[in-house]
Structure 1
Amino acid sequence: MIQATNLVEIMNIEDTTLRNQRILDEVQPLARRIMNSFLQKYSERDSYLLQLKIHTHEQTIKTTIADSKNPKYAEKKQHYGNKGFVELIDETLYESPLFILKLEFHLASREIRMTMNSDFYPFWVFSKRSQVHELERMVEELSDDLQIFTIEEKKNFIEKKDFTDTICQYVKNKRKPTIYFGSLLPLESTIEEEVIVDLLWDTYQKLTPVRSLLEKEGYEHSQSMLLMKSIQESVTPIQIELFSKSYSVKIEEDVRKVKTNEFKQLFYIYDQDQLITEGHIAYFTRDPHESIGIIINNRGYIYHRIRKLATKENYDWFIKKSFYHRGKYNENNENQIYQEQTLEQLKNHDFILNESNAFYVGTYEGHTHAFTEPMTTILQRLIRAAAIFADVRGFLTFPKGVQHLDQQPEEEDEIEIDVEEYTSSFDFTNILDLVEQSGFTFSLEIIRDFYLNLTSLDDKHFVILSGISGTGKTQLCRVFANAVYGLDYSEENPYLKIVPVRPDWMDATSLFGYYSSFEKRYMRTEFLEMLLQANEEKDKPHFIVLDEMNLARVEYYLSDYLSAVESRKPIQLHNMDDLKDVPKTIEIPHNFYVIGTINVDETTHNISDKVLDRSFVMTLSDVDFSSFWDSLEEKFKKTVHTEWELLLTIHKNLATYDLHFGYRTMNEMIRKLYKNGLLPEDLRMDSLVALDRVVAEKIIPKIRGDERIIDLLDTLANVFYQQFGEESQSYIHIERMREELERYGSTQFWR
């Protein structure tokens, strides 16, 4: 007999540790006992139940208890601990677990939930026009006794008759909630455990239509993931021929997570030992289908869904390349020109084309789960084709040799063409998740402050990032802007422009351009191009980064922008009646975000109060090398693990005097040490010698000061003498600087 009152009163315990301990001691054993009784009673009727794995909430509760005792996590975890559950999971499909039945005592809601749940993607797949009939059949067969709901900010129930339309609306609004199906029982008075056991069985039977649909989609997803896995495991170097010249392609074994449902595997194209360019194979495990892409030099050239390959008995894989430039980028019919050039080069490179001018990649056999040709051949065709597309677009140029034109047999196949669209969202949770997955070490405090500074004012978005060189100011701008659009840090974002400021910027023409009477045209700038685009696409945020903005006097070249933002009056660009491509005036729209990065040294100017009053100023001088180390690839960690502690010691000493270095310097030092370790043993430097060199080349040149750094130089001299010896470059440089300080009262690395 379950006494509901005893369970519900657990939620009255404010202490997180005690509350979670009660759930662990009382609720979890109860849920386990009922689920075991269910399996014991009904598994003879349905043997499938014996194949399922039992998963519980216990380990999560134990982690919460441990974290609640840690001051670092206690505040964050104070609201954890409001439920206990046991669920049955089918893990027979690769990377496609099915959550068959869950018994949950949700104390906060005073409910007993008996549900089957799934992430949103299967329903997204079946909402497509070609498969929506299967979704509608599932709903029609579903018992009216079952509840359908989502849990976002609150529990939202979905009527059966509205289910398909609701899924389509979620897709339209880019929301992907978990969907729950099942029975809800009030947690009140007393309840017989046997009643819950029988209700579990009743719910399980009524969930059959949902289970059947999810099993079908799960099987197709697992087959696609197995195909993706076989592509990832093919890392044998390959040779490709481009424009009659041979190149080698090396593919890394590591497959890195970019963000949720997106991964990448780097590859490098070499001409003998010279790196020509790098790229990666992009793996999209859910979009909602499974897709792969070939990206070269941060630009995507091939994107294709692979589910048809994995789920057909035999599938001839053809891909058609299309171009979808819009507006001024297609004024002269560039799309058609690129299409014709691409077709010509594919023929020149002996690709097989079908009647739709799609090129042949390979044939996949469903019964063997493999291509009829080696995977290296498949990758060779994909990377080779992407390189050709890059050359046609002019983003990467390969040397041209003699080419032979051979007519190839044509084959027919259904082609899928995806048009890339950019959608933005300022949802902070999503932005934070993408930034954290980017591999950069920006803290929650920095991302949150940057987010608030950029978005708290509806009519003005101007932030200045200050700090020592190499702390990631420009990277923060890029990773944040890309996160707003759901992009990886390395992907090209047409709504972000980084403009290096020049010391000779003296007035507003440096940003807004000017009419040249000599050339009879308006001289447009990158800033103006982005501003014009922002006025055309006012539904999308546009980010402009003025990099090292105080190399020139900011109040000189930024005055028109500042005035226009304050007054909301347009800026006069010209007064030419016959000039059509640039308007006479232009406004600063609300979707225009300006970010400036500044360094403070002898080459820069101070920022005037006029500018400071109109901006938020953030300082990025602190570095978190602990997180930086955690994010490093294992190959670097293995090489520099002994040198790492010494570099941290040096950094700590420098930080006391605000002379420390940032992520860029640390990253470049580690890469040189790693590269040295790859040299033949008889040619490489000893690890300490190599460390001495990078310290002398990357750290010491930035040290300068007066008598206030005497103690710093003494400390560094002692460290370098003990670690490197008196003949080391680092020790010799520091000793010379100590002598100059004693003699002249100030010192620097440069003589």
Structure 2
Amino acid sequence: MIDISRWIEIFNIEDPSIRCQTVLNEIQPKLREIFDSFVEKYNVNGEVLKYKIHTYESTLDTNRSDSKNPKYNKNKNNFCRKAFVGLTYDIYDRVSIFKIEADSRSKTIKIVMDLDFYPFWRAVLNKTNEKELDNLLRKLDPDIEIKLSDDEETLIKNEEFIKKINEYKGRKTPWFKFGLYLPFKSDINEEDLVDLMWDTFVKLEPLRKFIERDTIEHLNSLKVIDLFKNDSTPISLIVYGQKYQVNFEEATKSSNKLHKQSFSIYDNDQLITQGWLELFFREPRELLGVVINGREYIYIQLRKLQTETQYKLKFKKAFRLKGKNNENNENQTYQLKSNQILLDHGFQVDETGFYVGTYDNNSKTFLEPIGEIKQRLITASLIFADVLGAFTLPKNAPEANNNLIDDEGELSLETYSSTFDFSSIEKIISDSQFTFSLDTLRDFHLNMTCLVDKHFVILSGISGTGKTQLCRLYANAVYGLDYSADNPYLRIIPVRPDWMDSTALFGYYSSFEKRYMRTEFLDMLIQANKEKDKPHFIVLDELNLARVEYYLSDYLSAVESRKPIHLHNQDDIEDIPKTIEIPHNFYLIGTINVDETTHSISDKVLDRAFVMTLSEVDFEKYWEKLDNKYKDGLKEEWGSLIDLHQILSKYELHFGYRTMNEILRKLYKNLLLPEDFRMERIKSLDRVISEKILPKIRGDEKIIPLMAELESWTKDTIGMDSITYKNIVRMREELERYGATQFWR
């Protein structure tokens, strides 16, 4: 006999630690003893022990330890209020098949199956399966009670079970308990309890078979999911004659029911778009989905692959558009158009859809390589996106060549080919007349390309170090062009101080002129959306002449959210879309100078950009690339200028390539004058230093040592009668008298 009164006494022990230990010592062993008797008596044909015995001991022991931890004070009263021993179906995960449980909260001994909500949810999604489930429930022995795990007071009638399932679909899903509830009595005969367990076990057999079948189907579906998520080999595909590379990331668990395998689609090194495979392993179905540019295009139910030994998987796209599109029967129009394009791309298409692959249920794999299956799914998804106009791909792209001029002498955009291969870019730039170190070029290249979904670089530094030239050099080198060549994929736009909002970049609709006021920036953005296989470069020169966070706010928000920017709502404007996205092939570069005419840049902007400083200049390499006429005629002046540059560099007041270039040109021009009109070389140097270098020198007490060095250098190099010397002496005296100085009086 079971001493139920003792069990009640144990469950009511106030101290949770003692309660847990006593349940573990007395109640749990008794239940195990009863269960062992059940197995010994009724496992004649192995029917019971084909399942795995599962007990509650480890959880009770954990609760006992947790009860001593102050962290769990709120839950202590709930610790160790039950004990059980049961059977589980462990084919892929633990599924409860049968158990005997003593529960102090309901004051009952339960002989039940604990079943998840999802198998029943899956059943009611299909009319045939729903009918089968309904018949099973109606034929279930009337002694079997059905209750919710979170509401054991309420019985669910067999004929109302499916209604209850439909009530919970999409909500927090409960568990169901099927079986007997025996109230705590003063004593319970153990032999009678063992016989009752067998009787219940037999009556629950239809449900066990239902759950086992669902579990096996679920397991086989997971094997299909594994085929996709375990393969991240890159693939190639061709859409509208253009070849693309698809690179996959490793699949990651997005939630307790979904894995995602992200992929990126490239034309050469240019990111065209991104997407992911959605691998649902309980939603409630097991699904394979393809998402392109944030929009779903394909969803395949994986259980249907198990319906034949070799299942030929086909997918039929349903364009379920609503509203006015549906009224014009555009759903069918889109389907017919996409089917024709799929046929043109070599797909097998019939009235049931396009062929994806053949799944063999004996080997649990596709007859085709999994990369080929992915290729078909992603190619089809790109075609569907293009048909809908949600994403535009180049059509009939010709082979790239180096002939940039068409027969009529006009630039032909289609003939431009691009590459982000750094070795090619570096060679073109290093062969140019400009001087940029490998470190600078490499850093700029990495900043431009390391983020595949957004590209924003800010170049700062002293004036004349070649910030704008670097932008042009790089953009042209990507297209294999010389620095001076006209690049239709590059725009250098000077920023105006009066730019106060996003209309400076994106334009606006003028109700007065009844037209949309376009901008260079918007035109380039529209072109980038049309030619997604080509990188497009925008340089905002002197970015901070206006407040960057004002006029660039819409751009930064769109890049971060990947949501389109609203432009207008006029139905009669055809050349400007109502909304526009920032595509992945749009590269934004800003150059900045920092002085009293510019604005500081907010953290909002800086957080979204890579900021490079171009203040170092390599005059040694610059001198090597100069024409011999300068090197032959200006050796002495060059040495003096380099000495002066080194003095200024220590105080971050040095000059850049532009200033040096203009100085040398003036000095050389003077040498070309007739001898009667030519300045003396030392006077020419004096003049150009006072005109191009001194005006930028300003500061406070920090530059006192600099002024002393300059005075000494000028005295020894140019002389005390020079204009430069006189200005430096004056500036030094003002610095000592007022604590600050500048060239201007």
Structure 2 length-normalised TM: 0.52
Instruction: Tell me if 1:286 matches 2:282.
Output: yes
Does structure 1 retain, via aligned residues, the 8 Å contact 2:149–2:174? yes
* CA-CA distance at 1:157 after TM superposition: 1.3
Match of 1:37 in 2: 37
Residues 38 and 353 from structure 1, CA distance in 2 versus in 1: closer, same or farther, beyond 3 angstroms? same
* CA-CA distance at 1:2 after TM superposition: 1.8
Match of 2:391 in 1: 396
Residues 100-249 of structure 1: pairs in structure 2 closer than 5 A: 100-127=97-124, 128-153=126-151, 155-171=153-169, 174=171, 176-249=173-246
Does structure 2 retain, via aligned residues, the 8 Å contact 1:310–1:369? no
Does structure 2 retain, via aligned residues, the 8 Å contact 1:98–1:215? no
Instruction: Tell me if 1:310 matches 2:280.
Output: no
* CA-CA distance at 1:302 after TM superposition: 0.7
Residues 442-521 of structure 1: pairs in structure 2 closer than 5 A: 516=511, 519=514
- Per mean C-alpha deviation after superposition, the further-off stretch among 222-231 and 181-190 is 222-231
Matches of 1:140 and 1:667, distance apart in 2? 65
Does structure 1 retain, via aligned residues, the 8 Å contact 2:241–2:397? yes
CA deviation string 1:214-253 (max 9, x = no partner) = 2222222222222222232233222211222222223233
Residues 61 and 394 from structure 1, CA distance in 2 versus in 1: closer, same or farther, beyond 3 angstroms? farther
Match of 1:545 in 2: none
Amino acid at match of 1:36: D
Secondary structure of 1:117's counterpart equals strand
Amino acid at match of 2:357: G
Does structure 1 retain, via aligned residues, the 8 Å contact 2:134–2:159? no
Amino acid at match of 1:138: L
Does structure 2 retain, via aligned residues, the 8 Å contact 1:104–1:112? yes
Amino acid at match of 1:397: T
CA deviation string 1:67-93 (max 9, x = no partner) = 33333343355533311111101223x
Match of 2:59 in 1: 60
Amino acid at match of 1:4: I
Matches of 2:296 and 2:233, distance apart in 1? 23
Instruction: Tell me if 1:99 matches 2:96.
Output: yes
* CA-CA distance at 1:336 after TM superposition: 4.6
Amino acid at match of 2:372: T
Structure whose alpha-carbon radius of gyration is higher: 2
Matches of 2:134 and 2:351, distance apart in 1? 36
Matches of 1:666 and 1:102, distance apart in 2? 57
Residues 326-475 of structure 1: pairs in structure 2 closer than 5 A: 326-327=322-323, 335-356=331-352, 358-401=353-396
Matches of 2:155 and 2:139, distance apart in 1? 18
* CA-CA distance at 1:53 after TM superposition: 1.2
Matches of 1:20 and 1:267, distance apart in 2? 51
* CA-CA distance at 1:115 after TM superposition: 0.6
CA deviation string 1:392-416 (max 9, x = no partner) = 333433333259xxxxxxxxxxxxx
CA deviation string 1:664-688 (max 9, x = no partner) = 979999xxxxxxxxxxxxxxxxxxx
Amino acid at match of 2:396: G
Matches of 2:218 and 2:141, distance apart in 1? 27
Matches of 2:34 and 2:510, distance apart in 1? 80
Secondary structure of 2:164's counterpart equals helix
Residues 329 and 47 from structure 1, CA distance in 2 versus in 1: closer, same or farther, beyond 3 angstroms? same
Gaps of 5+ in 2: 399-498, 503-507, 517-548, 551-570, 572-598, 612-701, 704-745
Amino acid at match of 1:367: N
Secondary structure of 1:8's counterpart equals helix
* CA-CA distance at 1:359 after TM superposition: 1.0
Does structure 2 retain, via aligned residues, the 8 Å contact 1:11–1:108? no
Does structure 2 retain, via aligned residues, the 8 Å contact 1:252–1:266? yes
CA deviation string 1:155-187 (max 9, x = no partner) = 43111232333334434x745321211111112
Secondary structure of 1:36's counterpart equals helix
* CA-CA distance at 1:106 after TM superposition: 0.6
State, as a whole percentage, how many aligned pairs show the same letter: 39
CA deviation string 1:685-706 (max 9, x = no partner) = xxxxxxxxxxxxxxxxxxxxxx
Does structure 2 retain, via aligned residues, the 8 Å contact 1:117–1:180? yes
Does structure 2 retain, via aligned residues, the 8 Å contact 1:338–1:393? yes
Does structure 1 retain, via aligned residues, the 8 Å contact 2:4–2:188? yes
Matches of 2:190 and 2:367, distance apart in 1? 56
* CA-CA distance at 1:289 after TM superposition: 2.4
Residues 280 and 156 from structure 1, CA distance in 2 versus in 1: closer, same or farther, beyond 3 angstroms? farther
Amino acid at match of 2:265: I
Does structure 1 retain, via aligned residues, the 8 Å contact 2:11–2:23? no
Match of 1:20 in 2: 20
CA deviation string 1:459-505 (max 9, x = no partner) = xxxxxxxxxxxxxxxxxxxxxxxxxxxxxxxxxxxxxxxxxxxx969
Matches of 1:398 and 1:103, distance apart in 2? 62
Instruction: Tell me if 1:49 matches 2:48.
Output: yes
Matches of 2:214 and 2:610, distance apart in 1? 46
Matches of 2:56 and 2:609, distance apart in 1? 40
* CA-CA distance at 1:41 after TM superposition: 1.6
Matches of 1:29 and 1:273, distance apart in 2? 66
Report the count of equivalent residues.
431
Does structure 2 retain, via aligned residues, the 8 Å contact 1:105–1:113? yes
Does structure 1 retain, via aligned residues, the 8 Å contact 2:119–2:211? yes
* CA-CA distance at 1:143 after TM superposition: 1.0
Matches of 2:2 and 2:134, distance apart in 1? 39
Matches of 1:341 and 1:4, distance apart in 2? 73
Matches of 1:85 and 1:251, distance apart in 2? 46
Amino acid at match of 1:207: L
Matches of 1:7 and 1:22, distance apart in 2? 10
Residues 242 and 207 from structure 1, CA distance in 2 versus in 1: closer, same or farther, beyond 3 angstroms? same
Matches of 1:517 and 1:179, distance apart in 2? 68
Match of 1:492 in 2: none
Residues 667 and 176 from structure 1, CA distance in 2 versus in 1: closer, same or farther, beyond 3 angstroms? farther
Secondary structure of 2:317's counterpart equals coil
Residues 190 and 667 from structure 1, CA distance in 2 versus in 1: closer, same or farther, beyond 3 angstroms? farther
Q: Which runs of 4+ in 1 moved over 4 A?
A: 328-334, 503-506, 513-521, 602-605, 664-669
Matches of 2:18 and 2:607, distance apart in 1? 47
Match of 1:87 in 2: 86
Does structure 2 retain, via aligned residues, the 8 Å contact 1:240–1:248? yes
Does structure 2 retain, via aligned residues, the 8 Å contact 1:8–1:108? no
* CA-CA distance at 1:31 after TM superposition: 1.9
* CA-CA distance at 1:382 after TM superposition: 0.9
* CA-CA distance at 1:147 after TM superposition: 0.8
Instruction: Tell me if 1:9 matches 2:9.
Output: yes
Does structure 1 retain, via aligned residues, the 8 Å contact 2:310–2:358? yes
Residues 347 and 667 from structure 1, CA distance in 2 versus in 1: closer, same or farther, beyond 3 angstroms? same
